[in-house]
């Protein structure tokens, strides 16, 4: 019986692609680099802000450690000033979260988004009671696909691996679930393709958030 659902954030709970693309494009343009179409960012996101910036620079043959440090610092300052501009909640997600809570299932978040930004986004879009815990990126802590964040949530909430669903939209999320030995559900409404999710080890693919409820028993 499932006791806990762990959700990725960007591309799973919230559609943040336009926000991420807009903030990094404005940063790149201000510093004299090329910007990218929003859809290109589907390939850049998933492994945290530092790798996001690295991928954008490498895509235009502009990566150096010095360039990366400068762009990353400017991007984070801009992003932290408007972390939720243009962000929307995926259709059906609030109702699904309410249904999970009604069945006694705990909900938590494990994301590579900076921890404080993740907490603020969750509070703004879902309120105080939707999730019992949020685990975001912190200095010195391994990012997904390392299982550390999921393992910490399981230990904190007293839940076993066989009592957990992990819902995410990327190969990073599916690999995280496999490493943590929990069931992996791929969100087809997110940033990556169903083929990527399947190849990365998804146990099942979801076309809509409500389908999570079909995997509780």
Instruction: Please report the DSSP string for 59-94 in residue order.
Output: TTT---HHHHHHHHHHHHHHHHHSTTTT-EEPTTHH
Distance (Å, whole) CA 171 – CA 61? 25
Distance (Å, whole) CA 209 – CA 186? 10
Distance (Å, whole) CA 21 – CA 45? 10
Instruction: Considering the candidates 8, 169, 171, 173, report the single residue annotated as catalytic.
Output: 8
**129 is known as an active-site residue:** no
Cβ contact 169:186 at 8 Å: yes
Please list the active-site residues. 8
């Amino acid at each position: 019986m499932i006791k806990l659902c762990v959700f990725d954030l960007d591309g799973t709970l919230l559609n943040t692609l336009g926000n991420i693309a807009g903030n990094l494009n404005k940063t790149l343009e201000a510093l004299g680099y090329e910007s990218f179409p929003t859809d290109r960012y589907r390939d850049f996101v998933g492994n945290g802000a530092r790798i996001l910036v690295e991928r954008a620079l490498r895509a235009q043959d502009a990566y150096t450690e010095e360039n990366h440090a400068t762009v990353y610092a400017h991007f984070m300052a801009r992003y932290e000033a408007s972390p939720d501009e243009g962000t929307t909640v995926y259709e059906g997600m609030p109702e699904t979260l309410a249904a999970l809570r009604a069945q006694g299932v705990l909900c938590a978040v494990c994301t590579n988004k900076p921890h404080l930004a993740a907490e603020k986004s969750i509070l703004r879009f879902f309120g105080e009671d939707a999730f019992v815990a949020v685990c975001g990126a912190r200095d010195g802590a391994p990012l997904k696909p390392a299982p550390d964040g999921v393992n910490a949530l399981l230990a904190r909430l007293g839940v076993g691996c066989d009592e957990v669903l992990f819902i995410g939209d990327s190969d990073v999320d599916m690999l995280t679930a496999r490493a943590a030995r929990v069931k992996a559900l791929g969100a087809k409404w997110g940033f990556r393709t169903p083929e990527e999710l399947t190849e990365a080890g998804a146990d099942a693919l979801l076309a809509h958030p409500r389908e999570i409820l079909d995997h509780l028993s």
